[in-house]
Chains A and B, each alone.
Chain A
């Protein structure tokens, strides 16, 4: 049982480049989330999904898109990266709204 995994672990992008972050969970969870964590700001929700084929905006969705084509995967896309998107990105999943979220190890993204 790998839990929640994220790919890649670290990436450097130039402004304007695009990339996709992959999150995978093997716990059969319905709910999946993408957060970003910046110093002093805590974790902020970017997008989330309540099930396969569904996505919704979180607190800071601008500049990001997501897709949940398979229940176990949740993809976060940056179409045109900006330096303000330099951050650590965490994916999380949960079985239902009343249970804890399990977090992946994070992806460190640096946009130059």
Chain B
């Protein structure tokens, strides 16, 4: 089975940095996605980590440690528009017939204050 944990809510100030942690326990692991979801909208892709280490994309960075079952999403220079939920999702190992069955954490709601 899969178990994914992330904090429920975080608050930060505009211009600051926020780090959203995600820990997972899975029977098999292939990679980890981060999605952003604004209220009332669909999730949109932010990052995908397969190998250990940090991947940077502009203001957003994602880190993965496979041995520790741990990832984080780092949001720098926070803007008001970054107020959203951030979803961590794990893809399992498996043959093609298993599909790409993402298992999602509960999501972390980030509130950016002026």
Binding site for B on A (CB under 8 A): 31, 33, 35, 40-45, 48-50, 56, 58-59, 90, 94, 96-106
Contacts and interface: CB of A to CB of B under 8 A. Distances in A.
Interface residues of B, number: 26
B60 interface: no
Given A41-B106, A43-B87, A100-B48, A94 B100 contact: yes
Nearest to A59: B103
15 contacts: A40-B8, A42-B87, A42-B107, A43-B43, A43-B87, A45-B103, A48-B101, A50-B96, A97-B30, A97-B91, A100-B45, A101-B45, A101-B100, A102-B45, A105-B41
B99 A40 contact: no
Given A98-B31, A103-B42, A31 B106 contact: no
A42 B42 contact: no
Contact of B42 (A41, A49, A50, A104): A104
A59 B2 CA distance: 11
A97 B42 contact: no
Contacts of B98: 97
A103 B43 contact: yes
Contacts of A106: 41-42
Given A42-B87, A43-B87, A98-B31, A58 B42 contact: no
A31 B43 contact: no
